[in-house]
Amino acid sequence: MVKETGHSRYRDKRTMTIEAPQLSSEERREKLNEILLVEDPTDGLWEACDSGLAAILVPELPALRLEQDPIHRHKDVLAHTIAVTAKTSPDLRLRLAALFHDIGKPATRSFEHGGVTFRHHEAVGAKMARSRLRELEYDKPIVKDVVELVRLSGRFKGYMDGWSDSAVRRYARDAGHLLGYLNELIRCDCTTRNKAKAERIQSLMDELESRIFELARQDREAAERPQLDGNEVMAHLGIGGGAVVGEALRFLLELKRSEGVLEDADVRTRLDKWWADR
């Protein structure tokens, strides 16, 4: 029996546990992939949890069948996890990250501060995900990427308090090649039925992505500028304006492109040599 309460989905606890033969790691991995990589994995995940199959494939998943708040049952973590997973694109890394992103909550749940908290559940969940994915013998690059996505999955929460440009750059740098995956995971992690709250989160993500793009553009432009500007070149060489300043700037830009950013004294020494040779 299935009951719908708010945005959560509750199953009758009187489910039948499957009788399954001993499955190898490879067989369990392939079965999990089969469930995850359909367009909508919702029914497959619920059936796996209710039948007992999930306890064989990913024992941590059924443990999410708890409430974040013992009064407000709409905060069921298992229902949220399945909803988030179903919202993501059918990409193995992304689906696994969604499946594991809250896996550390049962181990970190606390009622000590006047309400339920799950402090550092992303870090705990990342370690749990690494252990389970290795046990299922996923390829090392997949394990590394999924673990990093789980670890970073809560980073965006701090953006609502206001991030400096350096914080935005750090977020993008830490995500690296996983930035697109991470941004999609964060967007899909919003399962609230509060329309205003959902729109606010999506708007903030739009803003963050726009800032990442703009800062990357600025950084590219900065990388294409020589380390000294025209005024500094004229002052250092003791010359006035003219075409020679443009020549010097082109020399300095090629120097930066070929050797990277140098110490200011080294740049000026190289400029002196260029000027003398010229």
Instruction: Enter the DSSP assignment of 37.
Output: T
pLDDT given at position 188: 96
Buried b (16+ CB within 10 A) or exposed e, 44-56: bbbebbbeebbbb
* Averaged pLDDT of the chain: 87
Residues in the chain: 278
Higher pLDDT, 86 or 11: 86
Query: What stretch of H or E contains 118?
Result: strand 117-118
With CA atoms as reference, report the closest residue to 126 among 103, 147, 154.
147
pLDDT given at position 75: 57
Return the structure tokens found at 30: 């392939």
Average pLDDT over residues 112-140: 87
pLDDT given at position 114: 67
Say if residue 76's pLDDT is above 70.
yes
Average pLDDT over residues 180-192: 95
Quick: pLDDT tens for 231-245: 999 999 999 888 999
pLDDT given at position 67: 53
* pLDDT band at residue 24 under the 50/70/90 scheme: very high
In angstroms, the CA 215 to CA 163 distance is: 13
* pLDDT band at residue 91 under the 50/70/90 scheme: very high
Quick: pLDDT tens for 219-229: 888 778 898 99
